[in-house]
Amino acid sequence: MAYLQFLFVCLSFGSNFVLMDRAAHYFGPFEIAFFRVASAALLLAALWVTVDRKQRVRWRDLPVIAGIGVLANAYPYVIQPLLISNGFGHSFFGMTVTLNPLLTILVSIPLLGVKPTTRQMVGVLGGLVFVVLLMYEGNLRGIGFAMLAMAVTVPLTYAIGNTWLSRSLSGTPPIALTCVMLMSSATALGPFAASPALQASLGAPVPAVRADFQLAASAILVLGTIGTGVCIWLIVKLVQSHGPLFAGMVTYVVPVVALVWGLLDKEQITTRQVVAITGILSMVALVQAPARQQAATLNANDSWPGKTLPADA
């Protein structure tokens, strides 16, 4: 059953990018982000009540939870559809999730005081070389430097959010924590989603011509409930039952699924993209190799999912 859950998460996360592309036919980036986190929060609230209503979060942790929610959910969920709606292809931006493990290593140095091993530093530096190649490919297809930098900030916010969770909220029940985090994101995004003028002033306007409402609404519904709510819940279960490394392997599969969707949509997939993504994944494998040797000794109770959740596409 765990492998079926893993496959489901990979397919869903990898499909989130094409769903955002379809949702952008009618909705603006802030609207997509708001409806995504709101529907996911409602689903997780139902799970919280039915699965384990005894889970609680501490009042003193609410500011931290809200901060992580805005940083690692609200912000990237706006930026992703904003980038995709500019017409450069959803598969290209889907590949950036591979940067999450490498950026997590870098972020853990100042936030957790973790000193990376030589193998990890080689993997991080080698991965950055392939990141430069990927960014070069993006520039060749007309994506400006500002947009490319913005694309990199998405996995960076995931890395900071996960590391912050590990440092400050390692003992908080996962369903309750995730639900409150998504509710915080929805609360922050609500005023922006309700004001097209405010969205336009922030450079994330609604489409000039709103089209395909049924397709867009269906895409958001699937994106929020399945691609976000159900997947986060399953990732939590996988971490608790099989350890963080097993769940973290999602990072390897998501960009492949995103590329397949790109091919089906007849998007441009170049040799440089394939080389760059292969190189990044190779460096991720190098970084995770020592952890793989120790995976059998990990205690699920000591491996709260916030430490190793993959980039939530």
For residue 181, give Cα distances in angstroms to 13, 32, 155, 165. Answer: 19, 17, 18, 11
pLDDT of 76 > 90? The answer is yes
Cβ 182 vs Cβ 44: under 8 Å: yes
Joined tokens for residue 185: 């994101």
pLDDT of 291 > 70? The answer is no
Average pLDDT over residues 168-178: 85
Cα–Cα distance for residue pair 67/313, rounded to 1 Å = 19
Cβ 81 vs Cβ 29: under 8 Å: yes
Cα–Cα distance for residue pair 12/6, rounded to 1 Å = 10
User: What's the confidence (pLDDT) of residue 302?
Assistant: 42
Instruction: Read off the pLDDT band of 116 (50, 70, 90).
Output: confident
Flag the least confident range among 121-130, 177-186, 303-312.
Answer: 303-312
User: What's the confidence (pLDDT) of residue 27?
Assistant: 97
Cα–Cα distance for residue pair 86/248, rounded to 1 Å = 30
pTM score: 0.86
Q: Which residues of 278-296 are buried (b: 16+ CB within 10 A; e: fewer)?
A: ebbbebbebbbeeeeeeee
Instruction: Read off the pLDDT band of 53 (50, 70, 90).
Output: confident
Instruction: Read off the pLDDT band of 201 (50, 70, 90).
Output: very high
For residue 240, give Cα distances in angstroms to 54, 89, 120. Answer: 18, 35, 25
Cβ 144 vs Cβ 88: under 8 Å: no
Cβ 90 vs Cβ 262: under 8 Å: yes
Instruction: Read off the pLDDT band of 213 (50, 70, 90).
Output: very high
User: What's the confidence (pLDDT) of residue 246?
Assistant: 63
User: What's the confidence (pLDDT) of residue 109?
Assistant: 84
Give the residue carrying structure tokens 């979060």.
57
pLDDT of 202 > 50? The answer is yes
Cα–Cα distance for residue pair 208/194, rounded to 1 Å = 16
User: What's the confidence (pLDDT) of residue 273?
Assistant: 87
Cα–Cα distance for residue pair 308/162, rounded to 1 Å = 7
Phi first, then psi, for residue 205 (nearest 5°) are -75, 165
Instruction: Read off the pLDDT band of 305 (50, 70, 90).
Output: very low
Instruction: Read off the pLDDT band of 194 (50, 70, 90).
Output: very high
User: What's the confidence (pLDDT) of residue 269?
Assistant: 85
pLDDT tens-digit readout, 79-93:
999 999 987 788 888
User: What's the confidence (pLDDT) of residue 8?
Assistant: 92
User: What's the confidence (pLDDT) of residue 298?
Assistant: 40
Q: What angle do CA 304, 186, 168 make, to 5 degrees?
A: 30
Instruction: Read off the pLDDT band of 243 (50, 70, 90).
Output: low
Average pLDDT over residues 286-312: 51
User: What's the confidence (pLDDT) of residue 293?
Assistant: 52
Query: What is the end-to-end Cα distance of the chain in Å, rounded?
Result: 23
| Nearest in space to 220 (alpha carbons), one of 11, 9, 13, 21 | 21
| Nearest in space to 32 (alpha carbons), one of 43, 21, 42, 41 | 21
Average pLDDT over residues 257-286: 88
Instruction: Read off the pLDDT band of 301 (50, 70, 90).
Output: very low
